[in-house]
Structure 1
Amino acid sequence: MDKLEKAGWKTIKIKGLHQESVPEAITTEFPLTLMLDGHEFATIVCSPSELEDLTIGFLASEGIIRKADEIKELQVDMYTGFAHISLHQPVQPQQFDHSSRFIGSCCGKSRQFYFKSDARVAKTVTSKLEIKVSECIMLMEDLLDSSLEFQKTGGVHSAALATSDGLLYTRSDIGRHNALDKVFGSMLRGRISAKEKLVVFSGRISSEVLLKISKMGIGLILSKSAVTDLAVQLANDLGITVIGFTRGDRMNIYTHSHRVVDLHPDLQTD
């Protein structure tokens, strides 16, 4: 690791005929093992920031908790890479319905595991949020401008909780699922209502991402990236507005366009 200095990793950069050696900032990858009531629950590869938010949001996404105050104690040990969680109503390993897992930073988990808990915690969203096209574009610009880690390294995803007026707070992580879990955990810790809120997101909207949004009770997700067909089908069923490819003055509205109030009436899809 002698190449990794405070100024960055010694990197050879090539652009056309020009070549130079410069220090390059690189994003940090950190394995965090969750010990739930004394039992190993999961190891998440993440960015080492807002780890309490990540832990709480992850447990809520998995259906282990619904509120932050169900946690009796939470201690994150940065030196050992363990988060120790005890609940007021302890769970046993057989209740996890899975063996301990290693969750990568990019790919999330398999559909098999998601479907085991989704029926319990995914919910239809009835948000009365209203937003304009110009506000969507402004929010995406604000998200991209706020991510200092991405500007330095290009190696993280960002997610923000927002209203139509602006971003409330932003969380970043090497894993797009982790970034959302950090937002979810912060909502639970701060007892922030999902009413008339949206999530602004830098990553692809997959079915897993869409289900997290449902569990958070959010009615609209705005992303600069693509969507998947299963995500769109789920969003349509669960009452969630999905907007993708929000870049510059462009955006694609896939579901429940009634929340975007300045669309031409002939373009409304529901």
Structure 2
Amino acid sequence: MERATRISVKPVARKGGVTTTVPRMVPEEVPIAFSYGGSSHAVMMATPADLVDFAVGFSITEGIIADRSHISDIELLEAEKGIDIQVTLVDDVGEALRKRRRSMAGPVGCGLCGIESIEQAVREVADVSTVHLSLSHDDIVRAVSLLNDSQPLFRETRAVHGAGFYIPGRGLLAVREDVGRHNALDKLCGAVIRAEEPGASGAVVVTSRLSVEMVQKAAILGAGVLIAISAPTVLAIRTAEAAGMTLVALVRGEDFEIFTHPHRLSLESPAAF
């Protein structure tokens, strides 16, 4: 299935005191529905690219499945205004999901639905404290630099997020882009899982801020290091600390800040910690 990921528009631009029309590329954003066993589960606004990776990554990071082998088929169906990703699960997993849906069904205002949603939002994060990965100062700088150089959609539009998987000595295994930062990371997780690369072998690097969901998804992948060009939230720092994850943020050229578990980084001045 081929869908345009960007289109050309001609906004009226005011530059240097002159009004003119300048062609500009803008990213496409469409509703992407995830359906399991024929029943709709969620709808995300996303860039219509790398959708099989998206399906695998979303299914695992959202706890719908525990392993890629639990998916027996993925079909992309064009809808009038978006795309429906039909995911077929193996029998036992599909039945477990159906039972879970039935147990969650209840009258509006039952009181439990909101609590369940809160518990899901702050769910226990995967433990990555045993991940043995060593990164140098140059690795951090190189990972972000490579990611910046590997985003064709961002170069054209300046309006999408990127996520990459950096392996020391090898570079970037994969890069995925999307209008949504969570979507970009889900697509990346799917790509790494489909490549059968252990999440513990590298670091996740993203162009967005670090929220708790980004930490949760990286931990589910098995990555012990998460790198970002922007800042983390307090809950992201607490969650990474509890998970044993090294959180590196605010990477600007040669400079960056390490918020949790600096032992995985070999720097010139370890005494600073």
Q: Kindly provide the CA deviation profile for residues 177-207 of structure 1, in whole angstroms up to 9, marking residues without a partner as x.
A: 0011011111222221112310111011011
Q: Kindly provide the CA deviation profile for residues 109-157 of structure 1, in whole angstroms up to 9, marking residues without a partner as x.
A: x996363386466334321111111221111111011101111101110
Structure 1 pair 112–164 and aligned structure 2 pair: CA distance change class (3 A): farther
Secondary structure class of the residue paired with 2:250: strand
The 1-side partners of 2:227 and 2:189 are apart by: 16
Secondary structure class of the residue paired with 2:26: coil
Matched, 1:139 2:143: yes
The count of aligned residue pairs is: 253
By how many angstroms is 1:265 displaced?
A: 2.8
Mark the runs of 5 or more structure 2 residues left unpaired by the alignment: 1-5, 106-113
Q: Which amino acid aligns with 1:60?
A: I
By how many angstroms is 1:61 displaced?
A: 1.1
Percentage identity across paired residues of the two chains: 28
Tell me the equivalent position of 1:52: 52
The 2-side partners of 1:62 and 1:114 are apart by: 14
Q: Which amino acid aligns with 2:144?
A: M
Secondary structure class of the residue paired with 2:172: strand
Secondary structure class of the residue paired with 2:200: coil
Tell me the equivalent position of 1:125: 129
Structure 1 pair 157–112 and aligned structure 2 pair: CA distance change class (3 A): farther
Tell me the equivalent position of 1:104: none
Matched, 1:257 2:267: no
The 2-side partners of 1:170 and 1:43 are apart by: 23
Mark the runs of 5 or more structure 1 residues left unpaired by the alignment: 1-5, 100-109
The 2-side partners of 1:263 and 1:115 are apart by: 41
Q: Which amino acid aligns with 1:123?
A: D
Secondary structure class of the residue paired with 2:187: helix
Q: TM-score, normalised by structure 1?
A: 0.87
Matched, 1:154 2:168: no
Report if aligned partners of 2:174, 2:192 keep a CA contact under 8 Å in 1. no
Deviates more, 1:78-87 or 1:15-24: 78-87
Tell me the equivalent position of 1:113: 117
Structure 1 pair 177–9 and aligned structure 2 pair: CA distance change class (3 A): same
Tell me the equivalent position of 2:12: 12
Q: TM-score, normalised by structure 2?
A: 0.86
